[in-house]
Structure 1
Amino acid sequence: MTGEARAPEGLPRTAGELRAGGYHPRGVKTEIRENLLAALREGRNPWPGIVGFDRTVRPQLERALLAGHDVVLLGERGQGKTRLLRTIAGLLDEWTPVIAGAELGEHPLDPITPESRRRAVELGDDLPVAWRHRSERYAEKLATPDTSVGDLIGDVDPVKVAAGRTLGDPETIHFGLVPRAHRGIVAINELPDLAERIQVALLNVMEERDIQVRGYTLRLPLDVLLVATSNPEDYTNRGRIITPLKDRFGAEVCTHYPLTVAAEIDVIKQEADLIAEVGDPLLEVLARFVRNLRDSSAIDQRSGVSARFAVAAAETVSAAALRRSALVGEDPPIARPIDLEAVPGVLRGKLEFESGEEGRETEHLTHLLRRAVAETAKAHFAGLDLRPLVDVVVDGHLVATGERVPGAEVLGALPELPVLHEVAARLDVGPNDPSGRIAAAVELALESLYLARRLAKDSEDNGGMTVYGP
């Protein structure tokens, strides 16, 4: 939401016009419930950009929101928890009326602060109305150990005290994040990282709907939906959600990594910023690679393997293809299996390995990546006889590839073979496609033959030339 966006013309601009137009105060949880029900009835997707949760997380979250519950999303890193929370804001009304000039987003027909109530009495139907976009009604805070009560709830404003007001005057309070989100959504990421004494400050907000600042209790009927995220290990390692606060959340919804290879590919396609073409077979290799990592005993699974790893891997592969394009003048830049070799070295630091695996990190990653290549090739080439390709390589048609070898050169090393057309067709590559795309299909077949020990492969240690031979 940019600052240039303006509310539509013709909306009420005073409390009197608002009342005459039939606008009535509606709680934020009721608003979300009614808008969610409308989307479900109309067949609209209320969760744009959320992949792989249709039959698991989404129904649970929808039930929680329909019930009007505050929600904790519990899951490993990189499972889309924050994305999911931000999507909830799309269930708010696009525009909502607020009292113009008020510190909090109060409804003009239901003011809650002393100052706004006084203005409502003084101005009556002339109380000015402004319109707030739903993007401004979502507040997000990353919980850190140095977060204070003042940040979340509020504190006494010394400037207002110096102006002559007494400490007991509620108008001396500078409101924090939660009160300022009145009639909106407050999202707290990594809730267990909040110090326990800070979590205590949220108890009154969630149950009694009032706030306490330095011993002064201000009765504010706050209207907020509180949502939070947490990693499972946070309950015991870095911190925990205190029992009274956990009890006040109406729902705890567990997230998960994509359950299928197809869902994993969809996430990569949606999130990755690819600067060169990376075909679906290579994206499938990366999806299978990430799933292999999540099953590996060498990886610390308590830390998890984020979906961001697969996204970063795809972006790395596309960057390798773009670099080769610049080196050899190949256009358009298209990724080939040789570009997968860039992934282990670049992304090794994004993973946590089990103790005792020091020095073997790259070995583990290379092994699991090769397994992903073999699984992908098996899925696409099942039943296809690649013996003619093996025979021509054994007869002396060595195939060289690498970061300085264009796709046309890879193809030129082999004679015309019907099996190569079949290989390309299995990967949805046509005979008139760019040479780089056809070369990517041929390379995948050659690599699968190497992994099946039907061909040999000689690679230079510096990542230069790779040669497939007998």
Structure 2
Amino acid sequence: MSDFANDTSSSRPATLGALRASGHVHRSVKAEIRDNLLARLRAGEDAFPGMVGLEDTVLPELESALLAGHDLVLLGERGQGKTRLMRTLAGLLDEWSPAVEGCEIGDDPDRPSCVRCRRLAAELGEDLPVVWRHRSERYTEKLATPDTSVGDLVGDVDPVKVAQGRTLGDPETVHYGLVPRSNRGVFGLNELPDLAERIQVALFNVLEERDIQIRGYSLRLPLDVLLVATANPEDYTNRGRIITPLKDRFGAEIRTHYPVEVDDEVTLVAQEAALVADVPEHLLEVVARFTRGLRESASVDQRSGVSARFAIAAAEGIAGSALRRSARVGEPYAVARICDVPTVVPTLLGKVEFEMGEEGRERDVLAHLLRVATAETYRARLAGLDLTGFTNLFADGAVVETGDLIPGSELLAQVGTVPGLSKVLDRLGHGDDASPGQVAAAVEFVLEGLHLTRRIDKDTVAGRTVYGA
């Protein structure tokens, strides 16, 4: 690709002759992606920005498949980032690329393939007009649904063009579908098994012969496209399946997975969640461990998985609870505390598929796993610290009352100055500049941890929690 591909000014070549004079060299889409991926790998740059926890497993396989020029299927449970990963492939295209002006399928001016562009090239020669497309215009995505037709994907006769006087045998009466319109780009097909089997057959030629056939037309349209599909493993046998001849035509099948490490899950939630309040990192870790606990629980149907969207929605709900408290009680800050976490559990039930024997116990299962996640986070964050300053608060029968509508300032007034609090704040990632809301969140987290490790008592009534009761 010439230097003009990176130039966003009007100085880019506007005709085929000027394009050739600029030194432009034709490359296929897969060669273009290969070259750009190699350049990023050699420079040590991130080729797939935003993909967390896949660096040592999925991404090396994906890089190898792309370098080999393979069309591919991303196979994995819901919420494993398949669609996001598919969309990052557009970033490996050249930022700008030339196309024949007015072409429905974005033909390369040097090698036009559709009937219209070949005719124009013969008529105009080096005066063939050229436009430049941004890489964002070269990515097309379609959600496969049972009502998707061959016309949607490949194309059909356009009755408007016929009405304009063209004959049915004229190839220019064809209305191109999404796949040919993705020519010289990336076509992403989400949930491929949901596509009716007879429609999947229409993709055979695209993947093998690299062309399309439309109804009875003697039309061979060479396509230059990278086809990427996503699928859930259960779909092979339940909702639908990818027919065997089509699976055979994909060059690679790549399995995705949920983040393996807790830190990766925390990073993912922090990256994706739109938080309307300050949610301390230890609470994000509770959410991450809670999600991982669900993925390992025998009470949950693991065939459908527990999406990353569960953890993201939980973090956003916790932030919403904190913002509600600040509005209701007049707090000048909105900082989430551990008391905000249980309030969002009922809103998350629809995101988890439970085993048949757990009917009626869904909330109990979630509540138990949330307690386990909180205790694990408490041990991971505060193990080895001297917390007698907190337990001594209750030595003489005193109590500390909190809840999702208790201001942080009121909580801090009840506990006063606590020996060891500064070390707790350090462990939780706060320094001397911790805000009152962050200090209150740390104090409440310690109290909940002490209760879960059976060092203090706790009683909850009507949305209020009393420690030391």
Q: TM-score, normalised by structure 1?
A: 0.96
How far apart are the structure 2 equivalents of 1:38 and 1:424?
44
Q: Does 1:53 align with 2:54?
A: yes
Q: Kindly report which structure 2 residues correspond to 1:288-327, keeping only aligned pairs within 5 A, or say none.
A: 288-327=289-328
Is contact 1:210-1:217 (8 Å) kept?
no
Q: Does 1:10 align with 2:11?
A: yes
Q: Does 1:334 align with 2:312?
A: no
The amino acid that maps onto 2:335 is I
| 1:148 equivalent in structure 2 | 149
| 2:3 equivalent in structure 1 | none
How far apart are the structure 2 equivalents of 1:428 and 1:206?
51
Aligned with 1:87: secondary structure?
Answer: helix
**Cα deviation 1:10-44 (Å, max 9, x = unaligned):** 11000000111111221000000000001111111
**Cα deviation 1:228-278 (Å, max 9, x = unaligned):** 000000100011111111001000000000010000001001100000000
Where does the alignment leave 5 or more consecutive residues of structure 1 unmatched? 1-5
**Cα deviation 1:192-237 (Å, max 9, x = unaligned):** 1000000000001111122122232411111000000000001000
Deviation (angstroms), 1:403: 2.0
**How many residue pairs get matched?**
463
Q: Kindly report which structure 2 residues correspond to 1:59-208, keeping only aligned pairs within 5 A, or say none.
A: 59-208=60-209
How far apart are the structure 2 equivalents of 1:439 and 1:295?
32
**Alpha carbons of 1:242 and 1:217: their partners in 2 closer, same or farther (altered >3 Å)?**
farther
The amino acid that maps onto 1:369 is L
Deviation (angstroms), 1:109: 1.0
**Alpha carbons of 1:178 and 1:201: their partners in 2 closer, same or farther (altered >3 Å)?**
same
How far apart are the structure 2 equivalents of 1:432 and 1:48?
32
**Cα deviation 1:56-90 (Å, max 9, x = unaligned):** 00000000000000010000000000000000000
**Cα deviation 1:123-162 (Å, max 9, x = unaligned):** 0111100000000000000000000000000001112222
How far apart are the structure 2 equivalents of 1:90 and 1:153?
25
| 1:418 equivalent in structure 2 | 419
Aligned with 2:415: secondary structure?
Answer: coil
Aligned with 2:274: secondary structure?
Answer: coil
- Which deviates further from its counterpart, 318-327 or 402-411? 402-411
| 2:437 equivalent in structure 1 | 436
**Alpha carbons of 1:432 and 1:102: their partners in 2 closer, same or farther (altered >3 Å)?**
closer
Deviation (angstroms), 1:432: 4.2
The amino acid that maps onto 1:127 is L
Q: Kindly report which structure 2 residues correspond to 1:354-433, keeping only aligned pairs within 5 A, or say none.
A: 354-433=355-434
How far apart are the structure 2 equivalents of 1:49 and 1:8?
30
The amino acid that maps onto 1:19 is R
The amino acid that maps onto 1:469 is G
| 2:465 equivalent in structure 1 | 466
- Which deviates further from its counterpart, 37-46 or 224-233? 37-46
| 1:343 equivalent in structure 2 | 344
How far apart are the structure 2 equivalents of 1:429 and 1:41?
38
Aligned with 2:99: secondary structure?
Answer: strand
Deviation (angstroms), 1:415: 3.8
Q: Does 1:221 align with 2:201?
A: no
Aligned with 1:430: secondary structure?
Answer: coil
Q: Kindly report which structure 2 residues correspond to 1:263-278, keeping only aligned pairs within 5 A, or say none.
A: 263-278=264-279
Deviation (angstroms), 1:387: 3.0
Deviation (angstroms), 1:104: 1.4
How far apart are the structure 2 equivalents of 1:85 and 1:155?
27
How far apart are the structure 2 equivalents of 1:388 and 1:186?
61
Q: Could you list the structure 1 runs, at least 4 aligned residues long, displaced by more than 3 angstroms after superposition.
A: none
| 1:3 equivalent in structure 2 | none
Task: Report the RMSD for the aligned CA atoms in angstroms.
Answer: 1.2
How far apart are the structure 1 equivalents of 2:80 and 2:414?
44
How far apart are the structure 1 equivalents of 2:459 and 2:364?
17
**Cα deviation 1:269-324 (Å, max 9, x = unaligned):** 11000000001100011000000010001111111100011000000000000000
**Cα deviation 1:91-143 (Å, max 9, x = unaligned):** 00000000001121001111101111110010011110000000000000000
